[in-house]
Protein backbone atom coordinates (compact mmCIF):
# COMPACT_ATOMS: atom_id res chain seq x y z
CA UNK A 1 0.00 0.00 0.00
CA UNK A 2 1.38 3.39 -0.93
CA UNK A 3 2.09 5.99 1.75
CA UNK A 4 2.92 9.67 1.89
CA UNK A 5 6.61 8.79 1.90
CA UNK A 6 6.40 7.10 -1.50
CA UNK A 7 8.10 8.93 -4.38
CA UNK A 8 5.86 11.34 -6.29
CA UNK A 9 4.36 10.16 -9.52
CA UNK A 10 6.12 11.73 -12.48
CA UNK A 11 4.65 11.84 -15.99
CA UNK A 12 5.80 9.26 -18.49
CA UNK A 13 8.95 10.39 -20.22
CA UNK A 14 8.47 11.24 -23.89
CA UNK A 15 11.26 10.09 -26.19
CA UNK A 16 13.28 12.77 -27.92
CA UNK A 17 15.11 12.72 -31.19
CA UNK A 18 12.40 10.74 -33.00
CA UNK A 19 13.64 9.74 -36.48
CA UNK A 20 11.67 10.72 -39.58
CA UNK A 21 8.83 8.36 -40.52
CA UNK A 22 9.94 5.43 -42.65
CA UNK A 23 13.61 5.68 -41.70
CA UNK A 24 15.20 2.42 -40.45
CA UNK A 25 16.26 2.29 -36.79
CA UNK A 26 19.92 3.02 -36.21
CA UNK A 27 22.09 2.68 -33.14
CA UNK A 28 24.42 5.40 -31.97
CA UNK A 29 28.09 4.38 -31.88
CA UNK A 30 29.34 3.44 -28.43
CA UNK A 31 32.85 4.05 -27.08
CA UNK A 32 35.24 1.14 -27.39
CA UNK A 33 35.31 0.69 -23.61
CA UNK A 34 31.58 0.02 -23.46
CA UNK A 35 31.69 -2.40 -26.38
CA UNK A 36 33.58 -4.84 -24.15
CA UNK A 37 30.64 -4.91 -21.72
CA UNK A 38 28.11 -6.12 -24.29
CA UNK A 39 26.33 -9.27 -23.10
CA UNK A 40 27.09 -12.37 -25.13
CA UNK A 41 25.43 -15.74 -25.39
CA UNK A 42 26.86 -19.16 -25.95
CA UNK A 43 27.95 -19.96 -29.52
CA UNK A 44 25.40 -21.90 -31.52
CA UNK A 45 22.35 -20.57 -29.65
CA UNK A 46 19.72 -18.39 -31.30
CA UNK A 47 18.58 -15.01 -30.05
CA UNK A 48 14.89 -15.91 -30.59
CA UNK A 49 13.77 -18.16 -27.74
CA UNK A 50 10.06 -18.30 -28.59
CA UNK A 51 7.62 -16.43 -30.80
CA UNK A 52 3.88 -17.06 -30.71
CA UNK A 53 0.59 -15.32 -31.44
CA UNK A 54 -2.13 -15.22 -28.79
CA UNK A 55 -5.77 -14.72 -29.76
CA UNK A 56 -8.51 -14.56 -27.10
CA UNK A 57 -5.98 -15.77 -24.55
CA UNK A 58 -5.07 -18.89 -26.52
CA UNK A 59 -1.69 -19.65 -28.04
CA UNK A 60 -1.71 -20.09 -31.80
CA UNK A 61 0.94 -21.71 -33.97
CA UNK A 62 4.57 -20.59 -33.64
CA UNK A 63 5.64 -18.20 -36.41
CA UNK A 64 8.68 -16.32 -37.55
CA UNK A 65 8.94 -12.84 -35.99
CA UNK A 66 8.50 -11.24 -39.42
CA UNK A 67 5.13 -12.99 -39.96
CA UNK A 68 3.82 -13.05 -36.40
CA UNK A 69 2.89 -9.36 -36.22
CA UNK A 70 0.88 -9.51 -39.45
CA UNK A 71 -1.01 -12.60 -38.27
CA UNK A 72 -1.71 -11.00 -34.88
CA UNK A 73 -3.15 -7.88 -36.49
CA UNK A 74 -5.32 -9.93 -38.82
CA UNK A 75 -6.73 -12.11 -36.02
CA UNK A 76 -7.03 -9.38 -33.40
CA UNK A 77 -4.43 -10.86 -31.06
CA UNK A 78 -0.88 -10.03 -30.04
CA UNK A 79 2.64 -11.40 -30.47
CA UNK A 80 4.91 -12.43 -27.62
CA UNK A 81 8.48 -12.57 -28.87
CA UNK A 82 11.16 -13.73 -26.43
CA UNK A 83 14.81 -12.87 -27.10
CA UNK A 84 18.03 -13.68 -25.28
CA UNK A 85 21.04 -11.33 -25.55
CA UNK A 86 20.47 -10.29 -29.21
CA UNK A 87 23.20 -8.41 -31.03
CA UNK A 88 22.75 -5.23 -33.07
CA UNK A 89 21.93 -6.99 -36.34
CA UNK A 90 19.44 -9.41 -34.82
CA UNK A 91 17.50 -6.84 -32.81
CA UNK A 92 17.86 -4.25 -35.58
CA UNK A 93 16.04 -6.52 -38.04
CA UNK A 94 13.23 -7.12 -35.55
CA UNK A 95 13.08 -3.40 -34.72
CA UNK A 96 12.48 -2.60 -38.37
CA UNK A 97 9.61 -5.10 -38.56
CA UNK A 98 7.96 -3.91 -35.33
CA UNK A 99 8.83 -0.21 -35.68
CA UNK A 100 10.78 -0.05 -32.41
CA UNK A 101 12.40 3.20 -31.39
CA UNK A 102 16.18 3.22 -32.00
CA UNK A 103 16.98 4.61 -28.54
CA UNK A 104 15.12 1.75 -26.88
CA UNK A 105 16.75 -0.74 -29.23
CA UNK A 106 20.16 0.61 -28.29
CA UNK A 107 19.42 0.18 -24.58
CA UNK A 108 18.18 -3.36 -25.16
CA UNK A 109 21.32 -4.37 -27.05
CA UNK A 110 23.94 -2.88 -24.76
CA UNK A 111 22.05 -3.48 -21.48
CA UNK A 112 23.57 -2.21 -18.20
CA UNK A 113 20.56 0.06 -17.65
CA UNK A 114 18.81 1.07 -14.45
CA UNK A 115 15.11 0.14 -14.04
CA UNK A 116 12.99 2.66 -15.94
CA UNK A 117 9.84 3.15 -18.01
CA UNK A 118 9.84 5.20 -21.21
CA UNK A 119 7.09 6.03 -23.65
CA UNK A 120 7.62 6.20 -27.41
CA UNK A 121 4.43 7.31 -29.15
CA UNK A 122 1.99 4.41 -28.56
CA UNK A 123 4.66 2.00 -27.29
CA UNK A 124 6.32 1.51 -23.93
CA UNK A 125 9.83 0.37 -23.11
CA UNK A 126 10.54 -0.95 -19.61
CA UNK A 127 13.81 -2.09 -18.07
CA UNK A 128 13.81 -4.40 -15.07
CA UNK A 129 16.79 -5.68 -13.12
CA UNK A 130 16.71 -9.37 -12.20
CA UNK A 131 18.51 -10.91 -9.24
CA UNK A 132 19.34 -14.36 -7.95
CA UNK A 133 20.99 -15.63 -4.78
CA UNK A 134 24.34 -17.35 -5.29
CA UNK A 135 24.56 -20.39 -3.03
CA UNK A 136 27.75 -20.76 -0.96
CA UNK A 137 28.89 -23.12 1.79
CA UNK A 138 30.46 -20.33 3.83
CA UNK A 139 30.37 -16.58 3.43
CA UNK A 140 33.87 -15.21 2.92
CA UNK A 141 35.35 -11.78 2.22
CA UNK A 142 35.22 -12.56 -1.53
CA UNK A 143 31.94 -14.49 -1.81
CA UNK A 144 29.48 -13.56 -4.56
CA UNK A 145 26.07 -13.39 -2.92
CA UNK A 146 23.81 -11.61 -5.43
CA UNK A 147 24.00 -12.01 -9.20
CA UNK A 148 22.03 -9.53 -11.31
CA UNK A 149 20.77 -9.50 -14.87
CA UNK A 150 18.26 -7.52 -16.94
CA UNK A 151 14.95 -7.97 -18.72
CA UNK A 152 13.78 -5.34 -21.22
CA UNK A 153 10.16 -5.27 -22.39
CA UNK A 154 8.87 -3.57 -25.56
CA UNK A 155 5.11 -3.14 -25.26
CA UNK A 156 2.89 -2.14 -28.19
CA UNK A 157 -0.79 -2.47 -29.10
CA UNK A 158 -0.26 -5.84 -30.82
CA UNK A 159 3.07 -7.10 -29.52
CA UNK A 160 5.25 -7.61 -26.46
CA UNK A 161 8.95 -8.29 -26.90
CA UNK A 162 11.03 -9.47 -23.94
CA UNK A 163 14.82 -9.20 -24.14
CA UNK A 164 16.76 -11.02 -21.43
CA UNK A 165 20.40 -10.58 -20.41
CA UNK A 166 22.13 -12.74 -17.83
CA UNK A 167 22.41 -16.44 -17.02
CA UNK A 168 19.28 -16.45 -14.87
CA UNK A 169 15.76 -15.03 -15.06
CA UNK A 170 14.45 -17.31 -17.82
CA UNK A 171 10.86 -16.64 -18.89
CA UNK A 172 9.99 -20.03 -20.38
CA UNK A 173 8.24 -21.31 -17.26
CA UNK A 174 6.44 -17.99 -16.90
CA UNK A 175 5.11 -18.29 -20.46
CA UNK A 176 3.75 -21.76 -19.73
CA UNK A 177 2.01 -20.55 -16.55
CA UNK A 178 0.47 -17.60 -18.37
CA UNK A 179 -0.83 -19.81 -21.14
CA UNK A 180 -2.88 -21.63 -18.49
CA UNK A 181 -4.47 -18.31 -17.41
CA UNK A 182 -6.59 -17.42 -20.42
CA UNK A 183 -8.52 -14.69 -18.60
CA UNK A 184 -5.31 -12.81 -17.89
CA UNK A 185 -3.94 -13.17 -21.43
CA UNK A 186 -7.23 -11.83 -22.79
CA UNK A 187 -6.24 -8.45 -21.32
CA UNK A 188 -3.56 -8.15 -24.00
CA UNK A 189 0.21 -7.57 -24.08
CA UNK A 190 0.10 -5.62 -20.80
CA UNK A 191 -0.66 -8.93 -19.03
CA UNK A 192 2.78 -10.19 -20.07
CA UNK A 193 4.45 -7.04 -18.76
CA UNK A 194 2.62 -7.50 -15.45
CA UNK A 195 3.66 -11.16 -15.23
CA UNK A 196 7.31 -10.33 -15.92
CA UNK A 197 7.33 -7.53 -13.33
CA UNK A 198 5.62 -9.78 -10.78
CA UNK A 199 8.18 -12.53 -11.41
CA UNK A 200 11.06 -10.10 -10.97
CA UNK A 201 9.70 -8.68 -7.71
CA UNK A 202 8.98 -12.18 -6.35
CA UNK A 203 12.60 -13.12 -7.07
CA UNK A 204 13.66 -10.07 -5.06
CA UNK A 205 11.62 -11.41 -2.14
CA UNK A 206 13.42 -14.77 -2.30
CA UNK A 207 16.87 -13.17 -2.61
CA UNK A 208 16.16 -10.81 0.30
CA UNK A 209 15.11 -13.73 2.51
CA UNK A 210 18.30 -15.63 1.66
CA UNK A 211 20.50 -12.58 2.30
CA UNK A 212 18.72 -12.06 5.61
CA UNK A 213 19.94 -15.50 6.71
CA UNK A 214 23.53 -14.46 5.92
CA UNK A 215 23.03 -11.29 7.94
CA UNK A 216 21.72 -13.27 10.91
CA UNK A 217 24.71 -15.64 10.66
CA UNK A 218 27.15 -12.73 10.73
CA UNK A 219 25.28 -11.10 13.61
CA UNK A 220 25.58 -14.30 15.65
CA UNK A 221 29.28 -14.54 14.81
CA UNK A 222 30.02 -10.93 15.79
CA UNK A 223 28.31 -11.26 19.19
CA UNK A 224 29.53 -14.77 19.96
CA UNK A 225 31.81 -15.31 22.99
CA UNK A 226 34.62 -16.39 20.70
CA UNK A 227 36.91 -13.80 19.22
CA UNK A 228 36.25 -13.51 15.46
CA UNK A 229 37.24 -11.16 12.66
CA UNK A 230 34.12 -10.55 10.54
CA UNK A 231 34.87 -7.10 9.11
CA UNK A 232 35.82 -8.43 5.67
CA UNK A 233 32.73 -10.62 5.41
CA UNK A 234 30.47 -7.82 6.61
CA UNK A 235 31.87 -5.39 4.07
CA UNK A 236 31.53 -7.91 1.24
CA UNK A 237 27.90 -8.66 2.14
CA UNK A 238 27.17 -4.94 2.31
CA UNK A 239 28.60 -4.52 -1.19
CA UNK A 240 26.48 -7.40 -2.51
CA UNK A 241 23.41 -5.97 -0.83
CA UNK A 242 24.07 -2.70 -2.64
CA UNK A 243 23.64 -4.52 -5.97
CA UNK A 244 20.25 -5.76 -4.84
CA UNK A 245 19.30 -2.29 -3.64
CA UNK A 246 20.17 -0.79 -7.03
CA UNK A 247 17.84 -3.29 -8.67
CA UNK A 248 14.92 -2.81 -6.27
CA UNK A 249 14.75 0.90 -5.42
CA UNK A 250 14.50 2.43 -8.93
CA UNK A 251 11.71 0.00 -9.86
CA UNK A 252 9.15 1.76 -7.67
CA UNK A 253 8.59 4.79 -9.91
CA UNK A 254 7.91 2.78 -13.13
CA UNK A 255 5.50 0.48 -11.29
CA UNK A 256 3.73 3.43 -9.70
CA UNK A 257 3.27 5.00 -13.12
CA UNK A 258 1.73 1.83 -14.50
CA UNK A 259 -0.54 1.52 -11.45
CA UNK A 260 -1.80 5.11 -11.34
CA UNK A 261 -1.33 6.77 -14.73
CA UNK A 262 -3.56 6.03 -17.72
CA UNK A 263 -1.54 4.54 -20.58
CA UNK A 264 -2.93 3.64 -23.99
CA UNK A 265 -1.36 0.17 -24.20
CA UNK A 266 -2.23 -0.71 -20.58
CA UNK A 267 -5.97 -1.39 -20.01
CA UNK A 268 -7.55 0.10 -16.92
CA UNK A 269 -8.26 -3.42 -15.67
CA UNK A 270 -4.51 -4.04 -15.45
CA UNK A 271 -3.82 -1.15 -13.08
CA UNK A 272 -4.89 -3.11 -10.02
CA UNK A 273 -2.43 -5.84 -10.99
CA UNK A 274 0.42 -3.36 -11.27
CA UNK A 275 -0.66 -1.79 -7.97
CA UNK A 276 -0.21 -5.17 -6.30
CA UNK A 277 3.29 -5.54 -7.77
CA UNK A 278 4.10 -1.99 -6.65
CA UNK A 279 3.07 -2.81 -3.07
CA UNK A 280 5.35 -5.86 -3.09
CA UNK A 281 8.22 -3.80 -4.48
CA UNK A 282 7.81 -1.23 -1.69
CA UNK A 283 7.87 -4.00 0.88
CA UNK A 284 11.05 -5.47 -0.60
CA UNK A 285 12.62 -2.00 -0.67
CA UNK A 286 11.90 -1.59 3.04
CA UNK A 287 13.38 -5.03 3.78
CA UNK A 288 16.53 -4.29 1.82
CA UNK A 289 16.91 -0.89 3.49
CA UNK A 290 16.41 -2.52 6.89
CA UNK A 291 19.07 -5.15 6.15
CA UNK A 292 21.47 -2.46 4.98
CA UNK A 293 20.97 -0.47 8.19
CA UNK A 294 21.34 -3.62 10.28
CA UNK A 295 24.58 -4.51 8.49
CA UNK A 296 25.89 -1.01 9.19
CA UNK A 297 25.12 -1.44 12.89
CA UNK A 298 26.71 -4.90 12.97
CA UNK A 299 29.80 -3.56 11.19
CA UNK A 300 30.13 -0.76 13.73
CA UNK A 301 29.67 -3.25 16.57
CA UNK A 302 32.33 -5.52 15.07
CA UNK A 303 34.79 -2.63 14.80
CA UNK A 304 34.02 -1.56 18.38
CA UNK A 305 34.49 -5.10 19.65
CA UNK A 306 37.80 -5.40 17.80
CA UNK A 307 38.95 -2.14 19.34
CA UNK A 308 37.92 -3.33 22.80
CA UNK A 309 39.82 -6.58 22.28
CA UNK A 310 42.91 -4.64 21.22
CA UNK A 311 42.64 -2.42 24.30
CA UNK A 312 42.32 -5.50 26.50
CA UNK A 313 45.44 -6.99 24.95
CA UNK A 314 47.33 -3.77 25.51
CA UNK A 315 46.30 -3.74 29.19
CA UNK A 316 47.52 -7.30 29.64
CA UNK A 317 50.80 -6.53 27.94
CA UNK A 318 51.27 -3.41 30.08
CA UNK A 319 50.45 -5.33 33.27
CA UNK A 320 52.94 -8.11 32.58
CA UNK A 321 55.53 -5.55 31.55
CA UNK A 322 55.06 -3.80 34.90
CA UNK A 323 55.42 -7.07 36.79
CA UNK A 324 58.59 -8.03 34.93
CA UNK A 325 60.05 -4.56 35.49
CA UNK A 326 60.42 -5.16 39.26
CA UNK A 327 62.82 -8.17 39.16
CA UNK A 328 64.57 -6.62 36.18
CA UNK A 329 65.24 -3.39 38.10
CA UNK A 330 66.47 -5.21 41.25
CA UNK A 331 68.65 -7.57 39.26
CA UNK A 332 70.04 -4.62 37.35
CA UNK A 333 70.97 -2.81 40.56
CA UNK A 334 72.75 -5.78 42.11
CA UNK A 335 74.39 -6.62 38.83
CA UNK A 336 76.49 -3.45 38.81
CA UNK A 337 79.26 -5.27 40.77
CA UNK A 338 80.39 -2.42 43.00
CA UNK A 339 82.71 -3.41 45.83
CA UNK A 340 80.74 -1.81 48.65
CA UNK A 341 77.07 -2.67 48.28
CA UNK A 342 74.59 -3.48 51.10
CA UNK A 343 73.94 -7.12 51.90
CA UNK A 344 76.70 -8.44 49.64
CA UNK A 345 78.56 -9.95 52.55
CA UNK A 346 75.48 -11.14 54.43
CA UNK A 347 74.38 -14.79 54.28
CA UNK A 348 70.72 -13.82 54.15
CA UNK A 349 71.21 -11.18 51.38
CA UNK A 350 70.41 -13.38 48.39
CA UNK A 351 67.25 -14.99 49.88
CA UNK A 352 66.09 -11.60 51.10
CA UNK A 353 66.34 -10.10 47.62
CA UNK A 354 64.44 -13.05 46.12
CA UNK A 355 61.76 -12.65 48.78
CA UNK A 356 61.43 -8.95 48.01
CA UNK A 357 61.11 -9.72 44.28
CA UNK A 358 58.50 -12.44 44.87
CA UNK A 359 56.48 -10.22 47.22
CA UNK A 360 56.48 -7.34 44.74
CA UNK A 361 55.36 -9.66 41.91
CA UNK A 362 52.51 -11.09 43.99
CA UNK A 363 51.30 -7.64 45.06
CA UNK A 364 51.42 -6.28 41.53
CA UNK A 365 49.64 -9.32 40.11
CA UNK A 366 46.83 -9.06 42.69
CA UNK A 367 46.48 -5.35 41.99
CA UNK A 368 46.20 -5.83 38.23
CA UNK A 369 43.72 -8.68 38.70
CA UNK A 370 41.60 -6.54 41.00
CA UNK A 371 41.49 -3.75 38.37
CA UNK A 372 40.60 -6.13 35.55
CA UNK A 373 43.87 -5.83 33.65
CA UNK A 374 44.66 -9.52 33.98
Domain identity same for 40 and 179 = yes
**Is residue 348 domain-shared with residue 253, that is, in the same domain?**
no
CA nearest to 311, candidates 366, 303, 232: 303
The answer to whether residue 282 is domain-embedded is yes
* Residue 1, in any domain of the structure: no
* pTM of the predicted model as reported, rounded to 2 decimal places: 0.74
Q: Which of 306, 323, 343 is the last residue of a domain?
A: 306
Domain around 351? 312-370
Classify residue 59: in a domain, yes or no.
Answer: yes
Instruction: With respect to residue 270, please indicate whether it lies within any of the assigned structural domains.
Output: yes
Scanning 180-270, the segments in alpha helix (DSSP H) are: 182-185, 189-222, 231-248, 252-260
Same domain (yes/no): 263, 130 = yes
354 and 293 share a domain? no
- One domain for residues 203 and 351: no
275 contacts: CB under 8 Å, gap ≥ 6? 259, 260
Asked whether residue 142 is domain-assigned, the answer is yes
| Predicted pLDDT of residue 77 | 92
Per-residue pLDDT of the chain (374 residues; tens, 9 = 90+): 333 334 443 333 333 333 444 444 444 444 444 333 444 555 445 688 889 999 998 998 778 888 898 999 899 999 999 999 898 888 999 999 999 999 999 999 988 888 999 999 889 999 999 999 998 888 888 888 999 999 999 999 999 999 999 887 788 899 999 999 999 999 999 999 999 999 999 999 999 999 999 999 988 888 887 777 788 888 889 888 998 999 999 999 999 999 988 888 899 999 999 999 999 999 999 999 999 999 998 888 888 887 777 777 788 888 888 888 888 887 787 777 766 666 666 677 778 778 888 888 888 888 878 887 77
CATH number for position 122: 3.30.460.20
pLDDT of residue 131: 92
Residues 108 and 200 in one domain: yes
Number of domains in the chain: 2
For the residues of 6-64, what is the DSSP string, one character each? Answer: SPPPPPPEEP-SPPPTTPPP-PPP--HHHHTT-----TT--SEEEEEEEETTEEEEE--
State the pLDDT at residue 24. 44
DSSP 251: G
Please check whether residue 2 lies inside any domain of the structure.
Answer: no
User: 220 and 83 in one domain?
Assistant: yes
Can you give the pLDDT at residue 18? 39
Residue 7 domain flag: no
Of 159, 132, 150, nearest in space to 72 by CA: 159
- 332, 298: one domain: no
291, 323: one domain: no
pLDDT of residue 343: 64
Amino acid sequence: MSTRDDPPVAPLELASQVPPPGSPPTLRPRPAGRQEQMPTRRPGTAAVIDCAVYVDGRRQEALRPADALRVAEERGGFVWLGLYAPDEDELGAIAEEYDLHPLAVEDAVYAHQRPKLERYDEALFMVLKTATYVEHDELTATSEVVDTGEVMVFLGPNYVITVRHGEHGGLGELRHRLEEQRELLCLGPAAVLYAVADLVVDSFVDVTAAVEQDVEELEASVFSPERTDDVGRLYQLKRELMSLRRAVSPLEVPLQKLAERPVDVVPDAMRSYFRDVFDHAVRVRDQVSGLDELLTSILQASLARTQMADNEDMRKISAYAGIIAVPTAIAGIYGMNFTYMPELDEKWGYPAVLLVILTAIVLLYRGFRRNGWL
